[in-house]
Amino acid sequence: MGLATAGAAVKLLGGILYGSKALLVDGVTCIASVLAGIFLVVWLRRATTPPDSDHPYGHGRLAYGAVSYTLAVYAFAAGVGFTVLATTRHYIVDAEATLYAVVGLGFYLAAIMAYRRVGPAGASVAAFTSSEILESTISIISAAGGATLSYLIDYIGAWIIEAFIIYESAKHASELVMSLSDKADAEALGLARRELEARGFEVHRLRLRRVVPGKYHGDAVIVPPKGMPPEAADILADEAVTSLESKGIDLTVHIDITRSHSAKPDRRKFTRTGDR
């Protein structure tokens, strides 16, 4: 995090001292990225808190707090960028701006390597921070072109970086909406169905909702095959539930004896349904 902060500071300083708007906008987005990285670590840690009375299914969805806060800081960074780019009048870009852009890129490369060494949370931040490499490359080319050819090259580069942060904001917003929409992945649905059908059950209804990537909650109504005793159906349903739990699917299974394909069930014994 310190390396990423240093990279952002170098870019901001280079943009302010040596006139590169591309480097200045890049520095602002880097500050937003550092803050987003902090939010990501904080909210991922909170998301691993064990279930309690307020969150009986766990705190997994708190991970989306990182996305919400990231949208806020990216929106602020985009606003600062618009302010910087509000005027197109001629300005001077000094050659030293390119050096600062290169040094900033070096700090970010080192930061990504460090992130990848500190476990899953670090790997997530590293993937999130990797977009800064593209922005750094654009700021290097823009600053160099602005210093040697025309300030317009630097100005256009700044707008490319600004467009990129707007795109990132829109993408994160879309991902947040989709993640909170109780979407069920076809792969998870298929896995749950196979586990149940492999034990002879007919799946009458199956519903899953994604809590966070790789973790699902849901329910199913299953019908045991003809002649299967209720006790056996109960044991097999337990096996399926346990197997699915190990794969990130928390499934409540309702065994519907009344829908069984048995010839003429004894209503005194089989009209009751069992839950697991």
Domain ranges of the chain: 2-179, 186-275
Question: Residue 158: CA atoms inside 13 Å, Cβ hemisphere, count?
Answer: 31
Instruction: Write down the pTM of the prediction.
Output: 0.70
Output the average pLDDT for the chain. Answer: 85
Confidence of residue 213 (pLDDT cuts 50, 70, 90): confident
pLDDT of residue 261: 52
Confidence of residue 126 (pLDDT cuts 50, 70, 90): low
Which residues have a Cβ under 8 Å from the Cβ of 45 and sit 6 or more positions away? 121
Residue type (1 letter), 30: C
Q: What number is the average pLDDT over the span 55-75?
A: 83
Confidence of residue 128 (pLDDT cuts 50, 70, 90): low
CATH of domain 2-179: 1.20.1510
pLDDT of residue 274: 43
Would you give the DSSP letter of residue 258? G
Pure H helices in 48-200: 64-84, 96-115, 119-129, 131-148, 151-179, 186-197
Are 69 and 36 spatial neighbours (Cβ–Cβ below 8 Å)?
yes
Are 210 and 185 spatial neighbours (Cβ–Cβ below 8 Å)?
yes
Whether pLDDT at 210 is above 90: no
More confident site: 276 or 81: 81
Whether pLDDT at 190 is above 60: yes
Q: What number is the average pLDDT over the span 96-119?
A: 86
The model's pLDDT over 144-188, given as tens digits with 9 standing for 90+, comes to: 999 999 999 999 999 999 998 888 888 878 878 887 787 778 899
Question: Residue 235: CA atoms inside 13 Å, Cβ hemisphere, count?
Answer: 5
d(CA 133, CA 106): 9
pLDDT of residue 273: 42
Whether pLDDT at 272 is above 80: no
Among candidate residues 237, 245, 247, the one with its CA nearest the CA of residue 203: 237
- Would you state the structure tokens that stand for residue 137, as one six-digit string? 């490359």
Burial of 222 (0-12, 13-18, 19+ CB in 10 A): buried
For the domain made up of 186-275, the CATH class stated in words is alpha beta
Are 162 and 85 spatial neighbours (Cβ–Cβ below 8 Å)?
yes
pLDDT of residue 123: 63
pLDDT of residue 174: 85
More confident site: 263 or 52: 52
pLDDT of residue 219: 94
Nearest-Å Rg of the Cα atoms of the chain is 27
Whether pLDDT at 121 is above 60: no
pLDDT of residue 268: 37
Among candidate residues 242, 207, 244, 212, the one with its CA nearest the CA of residue 222: 207
d(CA 72, CA 83): 17
